[in-house]
Amino acid sequence: MAYTQRETPVLAELCTFLVEDIYGELAARVYSILARYGRQTLAAVARASYLSGRQIKYGLVILLQQHLVFHSGNDAPTTYYEIDWQNSYAIVRFGKVTKLVEDRFGRKAANVMTNLLALGHTRIADLKEAYFPTATESDDDSDDGTANGTGSKRKRANGAQVNGAATRKNGVPAELSDAKPDSAVVANGDGMTNGDHKPSKANGVTHNAAPDHAVQEQGADEITSVDELYDLIELLIKRGWVRTVNETQYMSPGDMHDMFQQEAIEQDNNGATPTGTKDRDLVHRGIIDRKRAMRDEWLKVPRFARTGRPNSSNKRVKMNGANGWAASSAPSSDDDLVIRVNPEKIAVAMRTEQLVHLVEQRLGYLTARIYQTMLRMLESNIPRCWDEWPEPSLPGGEPGAENGIDPHFLVTARDVATKLSREMDIFEGLDPNAVVQITRKGHVHRTNILSQPIDPSRLSLDEKTMVVDKHIQLLSEDPLHFVTWHSRAGFSQWHIEFEEIAKQMIQTEVENTISSRKGSLGVKLIRTLRKKGKLDERAACNTMMMSANDIRGIVNDLTIQGFVQTQEIPKVDRREAKHSLHLVWYDRQRAREKLLHDTYKGMVRILQRIAYERGKVQPTLEKAERSDVVGKEEQYLSKGEVDTLKKWKEVQEKLLLQLFREDDLVATLRDFHGPLISV
Amino acid sequence: MASAVAPPPVLKQEEAAVEPSANDAISPADALYDKCAERPQGHTFFQRDLSNMQVAETMAELTMILQELCDRHLLKLMTFEGDPCWKLRSRADAEKLRRLTPDERLLYHHIDQVQAEGIWSKALRARTNVTQQTLTKCLKSLESKDLVQSVMSVKFPNRKMYLLKHLKPSEDIAGGPWQSEGDFDVALINTISGIIAQHVENETCIRVPGNWNDYELAVMHKKEEVRDIEEAPAVKPYRPSRDPNTSRLLHKHNPQYPTAASVADWLNSKEILKGKFVREDDMEQLLEMMVLDDRLEKISGTNYRTVLRAADTKAYNGFVDAPCGNCPVFDLCGNEGEISARTCVYFGQWLETTSEEV
């Protein structure tokens, strides 16, 4: 079959849908070419599509701005473009990110975050400009007003580099530079579409891309001063939610590897291609070290020139700053900093949420709140869920740094007790006997009722710490071992073994899926195989304590679904089936990949269904969106039309909610743990 | 008593056995047999016991009588620590044995030797050297005469094990207390695991009523005297139910976690399983199975406790709660065609909207 006719891999399909939904058709068409053909040059993209060169450039600029596409460095003679799948998929999380930030840093920070998501990477000055538009209309090309303001300013940012060296600090390769102004318009225009496609009902926060709108809408949560905005940005960077952008982030993993390999060979191995095991190991180590150094560089908190006083950096006038804006207010060198959302941190926060949810299901509301407090305290010290480039173990065996845990990853019961809101009934979910043991007041009746009720809000800090410790003990006793004891500091000090828990979470999701499809028998089989490894029928029967007839059906079903594998080992030369061993086994990694793949497909179907449902009500929607109808719906719309719209809203909401839940599943399966070693 | 091992049979004498004439009112042999029969069943007689019965006048006569009884299959000769000893057979059994063909008798003897462990038919053939046809024929006839029984081995499901009819198969071939007739007794397992689950729950959990710590009520009682409305309790973000009729099952504080050994003891002391003794290994097998079944969970080594679920509603995950997760035609579903998101009946039902007709 011709390559172009091949069925599109599910993830590519899903991402193309997402891109089309948010960034419009043009971007999606360019994107889908890259998705189908893989790494391409500009010329090759043009050959593979019916778009004009100019259109392709516009499309690419949108994609680059949003970090959906990698491109090879400037040094190479031709620039290659390649899709960044992780970031592309992350589009589905926009609403979730806003919610996560809001829970942690409040609505104002969430607002900043929303804008950063909508704009892609952004210069701080542009963000500021979006919130506090300058009054001067004498800008070089500010005729397009505030709605498109950010976009046009971004272009100016391109020309306004500190050293004036690169014309593409924004990451747009030189060959696309002529496309910039218009692309900005397109990007912003699509931001509007974004606003109406996904008003993010689930989260109650708009995706609105036009910042000035957002500011007006959220009057109460308005960011009132430039300083406040800067503080928020600084906070987000410090906590690792936002990172600075530099050129290396545009390199595809392959390019990056080649570059570092070259560098490692030159510097560590004197330029000779490594041949022996030792040399190879040295170079490998060098590559990984460099990758990690680069990654840490991205997360480094820049030194903010501004010291909290406005105008303090007034002297730092841009050397070659653009004409209009430099004089408008108090620009600082921070203004040139380009920032974007750090996707790795989003996964960390999602892990927190899901763990809390899991604990709530297993141990109850209050224990979950305590776990949440612990996790959030640790969160700012955890840059990512798992390390793609871990320190390779030394040839001697165990690495030396194993003996101690970084105190950043420890949390004490006292810390939690101090942080916990007084409003919580912290006795909930505890055995009354445990409570009495701590408070030493009264006793427990035979009906398990306290003889002297105790108001939990009147406990001393010591008592509170002890109560919290009881909850934490529940967490540690659970078979999932949500926390692990570390020392006696601060009454009791704990750390969390995320790796083990993440594996268990994957397992739980696989079991959930099977449980829903095949009931408890299927789950029992999977657990048996996971515990015992490869089993023949008899051994499986023995462990499950069931007869072979009852098991055969389920083994068959799960094999067809791809969760269980079978194997036949001949015992005699003639390979007679009668004389062969028939083994069944379960491979967590395979089940994980299969489920992940299916989930992607399920998401595609949901997006397709949304499109279909929208198509059905399109005429009514169009009517309702007409400028003369908006606000006077009752006057212009018939009752039938109103009902149709209401139904459509419900349907869309239900589908989107399910989409976000499937995304949670994707996060569990894909983002919380690296690839598992088979069996 | 150590297991008594019978000496190899004296075939010639058995073949030459002649029906004794019963012309006397009662022969000394029968007298001895009757005396022995007065003892409890399964008693083992040594030479000293028999001579003490004072049936035979001399040692020689006793030997004669014993020889006669053995020939008539009323006694079974065995040895214990080198000394000969005898066991009684019922007259009916003896009668059956007398009617056996020599081949049958040979097989019977070998089956008798292994006692409750049973013997595989192939092993039997190897020991006796009879042909396959004879073996099959004889075993059939022995079974039809109610002298031996065949049992499917649990360890080797395709092996037929033979043992004497009146014996209970040993655990090696019949399995532990959870098995009957070579297969797991599902009804028994379900009942027992239910009982054990309840027992473990009693040991590790505590049921707490909603009003266990009703401090607000207590405060209100006090307040009534003071009548201070201003100090109304702050609005809580989350309020557990204070209703005394609701209750929650919680993990007990510092419980004695049951282990396989303790549960086995408990079950044996309750004598729920009549006539069966549950060993620790059997119990561990059952408890581990219950862990797989998600009824118990294992914590720290050998301790078990009940699995508690704080949330009542069971939500699976985003994928299977949507129609696609359980769709029977998921793998056939495409972007276009007869089965697609547009034509999907399951989406239609779920969303209560109409789908495109195919």
Half-sphere exposure of A458 (CA within 13 A, CB side): 9
Could you tell me if A20 lies within 8 Å of chain B, comparing CB atoms?
no
Range A468-490 average pLDDT:
89
Whether residue A94 is predicted with pLDDT greater than 50 in this model: the reply is yes
Could you tell me if B212 lies within 8 Å of chain A, comparing CB atoms?
yes
Could you tell me if A202 lies within 8 Å of chain B, comparing CB atoms?
no
The whole-angstrom distance between B133's CA and the closest CA on chain A is 25
CB contact under 8 A, B234 and A423: yes
- Phi, psi angle pair for A444, to nearest 5°: -105, 125
Question: Which of A17-26, A361-370, A501-510, B62-71 comes out lowest in average pLDDT?
Answer: B62-71
DSSP conformational letter for A671? I
- Select from B189, B292, B302, B339 the residue whose CB has the most chain A CBs within 10 Å, as the one to mutate to test that interface: B292
Helix (H) or strand (E) holding A516: helix A498-532
Q: Chains A, B: CB contacts under 8 A, how many?
A: 200
Question: What pLDDT does A649 receive?
Answer: 92
Could you tell me if B24 lies within 8 Å of chain A, comparing CB atoms?
no
In chain A, residues with a C-beta closer than 8 Å to the C-beta of B350 are 654
CB contact under 8 A, A662 and B206: no
Residue A294 confidence class, pLDDT cut points 50, 70, 90: confident
Residue A348 confidence class, pLDDT cut points 50, 70, 90: very high
Residue A18 confidence class, pLDDT cut points 50, 70, 90: very high
Question: What pLDDT does B182 receive?
Answer: 67
**Which one of A360, A423, A478 has the shortest CB-CB distance to B236?**
A423
Could you tell me if B333 lies within 8 Å of chain A, comparing CB atoms?
yes
User: Could you read off the pLDDT of A155-208 as tens digits, one per residue?
Assistant: 333 333 333 333 334 445 556 655 544 433 333 333 333 333 333 333 333 333
Q: For residue B188, how many other CB atoms are within 10 A of its CB? A: 15
Question: Which of A384-393, A424-433, B220-229 comes out lowest in average pLDDT?
Answer: B220-229
Judged by CB atoms within 8 Å, which residues 86-105 of A form the interface with B? none
CATH code, residues A518-586: 1.10.10.10
Q: How far apart are CA B76 and CA B70, in angstroms?
A: 6
Same fold, B11-98 and B116-171: yes
Could you tell me if B217 lies within 8 Å of chain A, comparing CB atoms?
yes
Mean pLDDT, contiguous 10-residue spans, chain B (358 residues): 43 40 63 80 78 78 84 82 81 81 83 80 83 86 83 74 77 72 82 92 86 69 51 52 74 86 89 79 89 87 84 78 90 87 91 84
Whether residue A103 is predicted with pLDDT greater than 70 in this model: the reply is yes
Residue B77 vs residues A29, B33, B67: alpha-carbon distances, Å: 96, 14, 10
Question: ipTM score of the complex?
Answer: 0.76
Q: What is the pTM of this model?
A: 0.77
- Which residue is closest to B244 within chain A, CA to CA? A449
Question: What pLDDT does B93 receive?
Answer: 79
CB contact under 8 A, B252 and A423: no
Could you tell me if B286 lies within 8 Å of chain A, comparing CB atoms?
yes
Domain boundaries, given as residue ranges, for chain B: 11-98, 116-171, 186-306, 318-351
- Buried-state track A199-221, b at ≥16 Cβ within 10 A, e below 16: bbebbebbbbbbbbbbbeebeee
Could you tell me if B324 lies within 8 Å of chain A, comparing CB atoms?
yes
- Select from B212, B332, B336, B351 the residue whose CB has the most chain A CBs within 10 Å, as the one to mutate to test that interface: B212
- Which residue is closest to A428 within chain B, CA to CA? B240
Q: How far apart are CA B60 and CA B66, in angstroms?
A: 10
Q: How far apart are CA A146 and CA A158, in angstroms?
A: 19
Question: What pLDDT does A654 receive?
Answer: 93
Question: What pLDDT does B240 receive?
Answer: 60
| End-to-end CA separation in angstroms for chain A | 35
Report whether B239 contacts A428 (CB < 8 A). Answer: no
Residue A38 confidence class, pLDDT cut points 50, 70, 90: confident
Could you tell me if A72 lies within 8 Å of chain B, comparing CB atoms?
no
Report whether B43 contacts B89 (CB < 8 A). Answer: no
User: Could you read off the pLDDT of A210-258 as tens digits, one per residue?
Assistant: 333 433 444 456 777 888 888 888 889 888 899 888 888 888 888 888 8
Q: For residue A571, how many other CB atoms are within 10 A of its CB? A: 11
- Buried-state track A457-488, b at ≥16 Cβ within 10 A, e below 16: bebeeebbbbbbbbbbbbbbbbebbbbeebee
- Select from B181, B249, B294, B320 the residue whose CB has the most chain A CBs within 10 Å, as the one to mutate to test that interface: B320
Mean model confidence pLDDT for chain A: 78
| DSSP line for B100-117 | S-HHHHHHHHHHHHHGGG
Could you tell me if B301 lies within 8 Å of chain A, comparing CB atoms?
no
More confidently predicted of A65 and A157: A65
CATH topology assigned to domain B11-98: Arc Repressor Mutant, subunit A (1.10.10)
CATH code, residues B116-171: 1.10.10.10
Range A377-399 average pLDDT:
74
Which of helix, strand or coil describes residue B88?
strand
In chain B, residues with a C-beta closer than 8 Å to the C-beta of A602 are 319, 322, 324-325
Question: Which of A300-314, A572-586, B290-304 comes out lowest in average pLDDT?
Answer: A300-314
Range A340-356 average pLDDT:
91
Could you tell me if B346 lies within 8 Å of chain A, comparing CB atoms?
no
Reference A443, options B209, B213, B202; nearest CA is B213
In chain A, residues with a C-beta closer than 8 Å to the C-beta of B321 are 516, 658, 661
Task: Please name the residues in contact with A137: beta carbons below 8 A apart, sequence gap of 6 or more.
Answer: none
Question: What pLDDT does A154 receive?
Answer: 38
In chain B, residues with a C-beta closer than 8 Å to the C-beta of A454 are 213, 215
User: Could you read off the pLDDT of A267-284 as tens digits, one per residue?
Assistant: 877 777 778 888 888 888
Could you tell me if A613 lies within 8 Å of chain B, comparing CB atoms?
yes
In chain B, residues with a C-beta closer than 8 Å to the C-beta of A357 are none
| DSSP line for A254-273 | HHHHHHHHHHHHHHHSTTPP
Could you tell me the two tokens for A599?
Answer: 């989930």
Question: What pLDDT does B72 receive?
Answer: 83
Could you tell me if B237 lies within 8 Å of chain A, comparing CB atoms?
yes
Question: What pLDDT does A347 receive?
Answer: 92
Question: Which of A354-358, A522-526, A557-561, B82-86 comes out lowest in average pLDDT?
Answer: B82-86
Q: How far apart are CA A506 and CA A140, in angstroms?
A: 54
Q: Residues of chain A with pLDDT > 90: what percent? A: 24
CB contact under 8 A, A547 and B285: no
Could you tell me if A520 lies within 8 Å of chain B, comparing CB atoms?
yes
**Which one of A364, A541, A605 has the shortest CB-CB distance to B310?**
A364
In chain A, residues with a C-beta closer than 8 Å to the C-beta of B245 are none
Amino acid at the residue B298: K
Range A439-443 average pLDDT:
77
Reference A585, options A531, A511, A543, A639; nearest CA is A531
Question: What pLDDT does A316 receive?
Answer: 39
In chain B, residues with a C-beta closer than 8 Å to the C-beta of A606 are 322, 324, 341
Q: Residues of chain A with pLDDT > 70: what percent? A: 78
Domain boundaries, given as residue ranges, for chain A: 93-132+191-314+325-344, 347-391+407-496, 518-586, 591-671
Question: What pLDDT does A625 receive?
Answer: 84
